[in-house]
């Protein structure tokens, strides 16, 4: 499981002209669920997201988590994070989990993160438009298999 985490001052996701999720200060998390991912992968990513200390404290040092600052999380499924573009010019998405495996894990991620902080989400398999202001910019890459 992979995630791209971006600190934001505001973000939203729209599907067919309707806003399905919107946050102010917080984290936008794009999550890619790979074939073979388990509850352990989910726990690793979700716990990292809610525990990342990327918000400044009173000394302007990033020591605070999204929960510490009263922020929210906008969680967006993105199978393209599972792409392999090492060969040729067309990325392969063969490592992305099939919907029957990915949807329950995505829904579990919403619930697990939502147990700690307010969470909004996109719509699985939808064509989404995501708007965000990347604060910093501050972007973190996570991989449950710790490939990077």
The pLDDT, as a whole number, for residue 20 is 96
**Does 130 map to a domain?**
yes
**Does 78 map to a domain?**
yes
**Does 134 map to a domain?**
yes
The pLDDT, as a whole number, for residue 41 is 97
The pLDDT, as a whole number, for residue 148 is 64
Tokens 């307010």 -> residue: 118
7 touches 138 (CB < 8 A): yes
pLDDT tens digits in sequence order for the chain, 148 residues long:
999 999 999 999 999 999 999 999 999 999 999 999 999 999 999 999 999 999 999 999 999 999 999 999 999 999 999 999 999 999 999 999 999 999 999 999 999 999 999 999 999 999 999 999 999 999 999 999 986 6
The pLDDT, as a whole number, for residue 146 is 82
**Does 122 map to a domain?**
yes
- Annotated catalytic residue, options 6, 14, 79, 120: 79
Q: Which residue, among 62, 63, 61, 43, has the nearest Cα to 116 in the 3D structure?
A: 43
* Phi, psi angle pair for 51, to nearest 5°: -100, -10
User: How many structural domains is the chain composed of?
Assistant: 1
- Annotated catalytic residue, options 80, 125, 129, 139: 80
**Does 62 map to a domain?**
yes
Query: Residue 78 catalytic?
Result: yes
User: 133 is in which domain, residue-wise?
Assistant: 2-143
**Does 148 map to a domain?**
no
**Does 45 map to a domain?**
yes
Tokens 């020591």 -> residue: 63
CATH number at residue 133: 3.50.80.10
**Does 120 map to a domain?**
yes
Query: Residue 79 catalytic?
Result: yes
Q: What are 14's two structure tokens? A: 């729209």
Query: Residue 80 catalytic?
Result: yes
């Amino acid at each position: 499981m992979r995630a791209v985490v971006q600190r934001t001052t505001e973000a939203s996701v729209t599907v067919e002209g309707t806003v399905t999720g919107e946050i102010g200060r917080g984290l936008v998390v794009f999550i890619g669920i790979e074939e073979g991912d388990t509850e352990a992968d989910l726990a690793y990513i979700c716990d990292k997201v809610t525990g990342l200390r990327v918000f400044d404290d009173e000394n302007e040092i990033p020591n605070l988590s999204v929960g510490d600052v009263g922020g929210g999380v906008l969680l967006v499924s993105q199978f393209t994070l599972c792409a392999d573009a090492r060969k040729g010019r067309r990325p392969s998405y063969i490592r992305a989990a099939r919907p029957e495996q990915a949807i329950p894990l995505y829904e579990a991620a919403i619930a697990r993160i939502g147990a700690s902080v307010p969470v909004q989400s996109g719509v699985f398999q939808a064509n989404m438009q995501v708007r965000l202001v990347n604060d910093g910019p501050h972007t973190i890459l996570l991989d449950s298999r710790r490939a990077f």
